[in-house]
Amino acid sequence: MAVTIRDVAEASGVHVSTVSRAFSAPHLVNPVTRTRVLAIAEDLGYRPNRAARALTTGRTHNIGLIVADIANPFFPPLIKAAQAQARMRDYHVFVADTDEDPQVEEELIQTLTKQVDGVLLCSPRLTNRTIERLREEIPFVVVNRRVKGMPTVLMDVGRGVRLAVEHLTGLGHRRLALVTGPSGSWTSKEMQAAAAAMNEADVTFLGPNPPTEQGGLAAVTDVIASGATAVLAYNDLVAIGLIEGLAERGIDVPGDISVIGVDDIVPGRLSRPKLTTIAMPTAAAGRIAVDLLLQSVDSESTSGVTVLETSLIVRESTGETHS
């Protein structure tokens, strides 16, 4: 059916090994025969079969990208950037969605393992032990979670939280609330730690909450009860839910209460009031993660954590307090 290396060899009167080298070891073949072979290959529409190549070289030129939920607006920019970067390096990427299920996640890694040179694990739900075990079989880089001794890319929410708190205190707020995320979340812990270390303001912790609009909706009574004039939400979805719930109670944002989210996802930019948020450099994370991964595929260099800066984007959901 398809045109193979042998077709090209026959058509150009050389041995298959010469054709092979014309592509993957140019310096080992006479320039003139090389150009002739290449021309004929082009002519015949020959495309090397990467799967066959992988069989002998051990390099598939594929990577796997595993995320908990593709439809979560946090991930698409990361996926897009990772994919673009991989393409630039002549890699293809499998993307898989685990549906938040650790079981599925492990299974996916197992079946993907033979087809990829490495995998990018984004906000994995697996235990550290499992990840460390799986690591024997295939190079990883982990995004958005700290796993001992593995190449990791993290986003510095702590800094974002400090910036946010400063922004808020600058506006006169003294009583803050932090709506935390799922109890297992690394990001949530980081946020709490950073907030607890600030002493410009009183902060009370509310949660844990599901990381969704519903979670935000569910948190409004607690927020009101806390007497806080400003709220830092686990993420933008929670913040949006919160604002909605507050509005239902007749409480204006930012008039009565200020709200800050985390992530800078698209819906936050589009909602009203436009959300003030701690922007996570997800695209950069995706890009850098694949660089790291490919690097750790070639060389045996393994560990090291890269942390990316976050920033505060002030929009319309924060304002001066008047209480």
Partner DNA sequence: TCGGATACCGCAACCGGTTGCAAAAAGTAT
Partner DNA sequence: ATACTTTTTGCAACCGGTTGCGGTATCCGA
CA pair distance 278, 261, nearest whole angstrom: 6
Nearest CB to DNA, comparing residues 30 and 221: 30
CA pair distance 266, 25, nearest whole angstrom: 46
- Smallest distance, DNA to C-beta of residue 21, A: 5
Nearest CB to DNA, comparing residues 7 and 256: 7
**Site pattern 14..33 for DNA (x: CB under 7 A):** xxxxx-xx-xxx-xxxxx-x
Binding residues for a copy of itself, per CB under 8 A?
A: 1-2, 47-52, 54-55, 58, 60, 62, 69-71, 73, 75-77, 79-80, 83-84, 87, 92-97, 99, 108, 110-115, 137, 213, 237, 240, 244, 247, 266-267, 270-272
Q: Which of 96, 103, 105 is nearest to 75 (CA)?
A: 96
- Smallest distance, a copy of itself to C-beta of residue 76, A: 5
- Smallest distance, a copy of itself to C-beta of residue 149, A: 21
Q: Which residue has the tokens 């001992």?
A: 148
- Smallest distance, a copy of itself to C-beta of residue 15, A: 21
Out of 35, 39, 42, 57, the residue judged to bind DNA by CB under 7 A: 57
Contacts of 3 (CB under 8 A, 6+ apart): 44, 45, 46, 47
Alpha helices for 146-210 (secondary structure H) = 157-170, 186-196
Nearest CB to a copy of itself, comparing residues 15 and 269: 269
For residues 101 and 107, the answer to whether their CB atoms sit within 8 Å is no
Nearest CB to DNA, comparing residues 14 and 143: 14
Nearest CB to DNA, comparing residues 22 and 191: 22
Q: Residue 277 carries which side chain, given as an amino acid letter?
A: T
CA pair distance 221, 238, nearest whole angstrom: 14
Q: Is 1 in the site for DNA (CB under 7 A)?
A: yes
DSSP string of 126-164? S-HHHHHHHTTTS-EEEESS--TTS-EEEE-HHHHHHHH
Out of 43, 44, 45, 49, the residue judged to bind DNA by CB under 7 A: 49
For residues 218 and 272, the answer to whether their CB atoms sit within 8 Å is no
DSSP string of 267-323? HHHHSSSPPEEEE--HHHHHHHHHHHHHHHHHS-----EEEE--EEE--SS------
Nearest CB to a copy of itself, comparing residues 258 and 271: 271
Residues near DNA (CB under 7 A), total: 32
> Residues interacting with DNA, by CB under 7 A?
1-2, 4-6, 13-18, 20-21, 23-25, 27-31, 33-34, 46-49, 52-53, 55-57
